[in-house]
Amino acid sequence: MGSVPIFLVLLLPAAAAAQESRWGVNVFGFSYHFDRDKAKAQGVDNEFNPGLGLRWRKTVESDWDVILDGGAYRDSGRNTAVYAGGGAMYHLTARLKAGAALALFHSDTYNDGTPFVAPLPVLGYDFDRFSVNMVYMPKISGYNTINTLGFWFTVWIN
């Protein structure tokens, strides 16, 4: 777990130097498990996933944003999950964005408690002061045993 806080320390402050960017607070959230019976049998059926994180976002082209995220939340197995990652979001419309992120995760629930990196598809819908976000966490043998959607808000602070 020691590598995750180090990664956050290196990742997030570097973003602060960028101009014309936005900072937000990620407020987690909820999840939905596609195979609810299997999730319950495995003890990974928790669908209320409170937590906090930071998001940095910068528009690099008129239709693309770069994002950096880091934070912690209570995961589907009722353990604390910490993560840090980055990605890109394409502007499908002025408010709707779709993209992908690469994230480093650590939780006792996933991958037998060993940190791992996962590619994740993400969607976001922007309002003026906040965004609604969704991530798809696919079933990947040994890492995540249930196809899951995650939902959270980003409250923009600048």
Q: Is residue 20 part of a domain?
A: no
Global pTM?
0.83
Any idea which residue has 């939905």 for tokens? 32
Query: CB–CB of 53/25 below 8 Å?
Result: yes
Give the separation between CA 64 and CA 44, rounded to whole angstroms: 34
- Mean pLDDT on 117-128: 95
Instruction: Please tell me the predicted confidence (pLDDT) of residue 145.
Output: 81
How high is the pLDDT of residue 122?
Answer: 97
Nearest by Cα to 68 from 109, 10, 155, 6: 10
Distance of alpha carbon 136 from alpha carbon 33, whole angstroms: 10
User: What does the pLDDT read at residue 110?
Assistant: 84
Query: Does residue 53 lie in a domain region?
Result: yes
Q: What is the pLDDT of residue 102?
A: 96
Residue at 19 is within a domain: no
Q: What is the dihedral of CA 145, 149, 152, 154, to 10 degrees?
A: 100
Query: Is 74 a domain residue?
Result: yes
Furthest C-alpha separation in the chain: 48
Span 100-125, mean pLDDT? Answer: 93
pLDDT at 124 over 90: yes
Q: Is the pLDDT of residue 20 over 90?
A: no
Summarised one tens digit per residue, pLDDT across range 52-67 is: 999 999 999 889 999 9
Query: What is the total count of domains within the chain?
Result: 1
- Residue 84, domain CATH: 2.40.160.20
Task: Find out whether 68 and 44 touch, Cβ atoms under 8 Å.
Answer: no
- For residue 130, the enclosing domain spans 3-14+29-156
Residue 86 lies in a domain: yes
Chain centroid to Cα 49, Å, comes to 12
Average pLDDT, the chain: 89
How much of the chain, in percent, has pLDDT values that exceed 70? 87
Confidence of residue 10 (pLDDT cuts 50, 70, 90): low
Any domain includes 21: no
64-111 pLDDT, tens per residue? 999 999 999 999 999 999 999 999 999 999 999 999 999 999 999 888
Partners of 117 in beta bridges:
104
